[in-house]
Structure 1
């Protein structure tokens, strides 16, 4: 089984190979999930010619650690970065896509120095800076695209004028998918965030909650994400899904 040594123990990951791949996707699951939950989604991604790699968060799946304490954002980012490095060693020329769900979406933004909580309510800005990477660990120019699923409000404080962190570049293709009935991460926050980042494509799913890839709408969500990624890595450019 594939493992690497993380700062807090052995980390497990899975790989779904594609012989003639057009890109690779690094998937970061949410809390309470692990890579074994994503075989069905990997099938859709592989059908688009994209090889998927996914990480078991610390304490989840086969990764060592405490499931009640997966780590600070800085530690989660370090683990994700290590998986990207492992994947890059195997596929050095493949365009890189990153996708995160829930906590994984926070981590994906953290990789870009852009997961910054609402500091208006933060009592200790020093703690915010210590736990939230404010500079990119992955240069945006190294990414072909970013997909965010069920991203929580707590990560969306960045982007406002004068906010801490690194602004997301307009040249980076970004897709956000969100359930209209999401109770764990209500959709209003991501709607406000995409209004500030008006080049981000937001696709909303009616009658769907937080875990889009494991709800009745999962096939449509997977197909939408796979098609968006396929268009992003085409040489002709980026095709954006319309709001709906």
Structure 2
């Protein structure tokens, strides 16, 4: 079984390899989930020539740690960054798409220094913000070809507001956000406001769908939308090296 050394212990991950993939998808699951929940998603992306890698968050799946306390956002970013670096070292010649669901989406944004709470929740100059939220990117520029976010909680969506702390999302980075209209864990209004601040973000809304889009009745449509969007990003890269 594949493992690597994380911030607080051994981290497990899964890889669904294919021969000569066009691109790589690095998946960060949400709280209470692990890479084993995404076999269907990974196999569905295979015809689109995607190789999927999924991380078990600390304390989840086969990774060491406490499932009730997966770590601070700083620690989650450190683990996820090590995972991305491992993937890039294995597949250095393929475009890399980072995808996160719920807590994984917060982590993905934090890896870019862009997971900032709304100013109404935490004051911009708060010591809590400096301590708990990475305000600078953990990944080098051009490390990612695209970013997919699913069910992003409000607590990470203050970025993009005028004079907001943290690092703005790169204008050239394509971003897809998928969200259920009936999401009770992460109500959709916050992602709608956040999307309006970022011209590079494509928001897809799914009626009669809640928080866990890839495990709900709409999962096939959501997966197809993600696959088609990523293929468009990769084709665009090929046309504009």
TM over 0.5: yes
C-alpha root-mean-square deviation of aligned residues, in Å? 1.2
Please give the secondary structure, in 2, of the residue aligned with 1:233: helix
Count of residue pairs brought into register by the alignment: 237
TM-score for both structures, normalised by structure 2: 0.95
Q: Give the aligned partner of residue 21 of structure 2.
A: 21
State the Cα distance separating 1:86 from its structure 2 match: 1.0
Corresponding residue for 1:59? 59
Which residue number in structure 2 is paired with residue 48 of structure 1?
Answer: 48
**Consecutive unaligned residues in structure 1, runs of 5 or more:** 238-244
| Aligned twin of 1:174 | 175
Q: Which deviates more, 32-41 or 121-130?
A: 121-130
The CA distance in 2 between the partners of 1:140 and 1:120, in whole Å, is 30
Q: 1:150 to 1:140 in 2, by over 3 A?
A: farther
Give the match for residue 212 of structure 1.
213
Partners of 1:158 and 1:129 lie apart in 2 by 14
**Aligned-residue offset at 1:236:** 3.2
Asked if the contact 1:180/1:209 (under 8 Å) is kept, the reply is yes
Matched, 1:229 2:230: yes
Alignment map for 1:36-185 (pairs within 5 Å): 36-122=36-122, 125-185=126-186
How far off is 1:141 after superposition?
A: 1.9
Per the alignment, residue 32 of structure 2 pairs with 32
TM-score (normalised: structure 1): 0.94
> Aligned equivalents of 1:88 and 1:142: distance in 2?
9
Counterpart in 2 of 1:242?
none
SS of 2:120's equivalent in the other structure is helix
Q: Which runs of 5+ in 2 are unaligned?
A: none
Give the C-alpha shift of residue 140 in structure 1. Answer: 4.2
SS in 2 for 1:80: helix
SS at the partner of 2:108?
helix
Aligned partners of 1:194, 1:213: CA distance in 2, in Å?
Answer: 21
Cα deviation code 1:12-38 (max 9, x no counterpart):
000011111111111000000000000
- 1:143 Cα deviation after fit: 1.1
Secondary structure, aligned partner of 2:117: coil
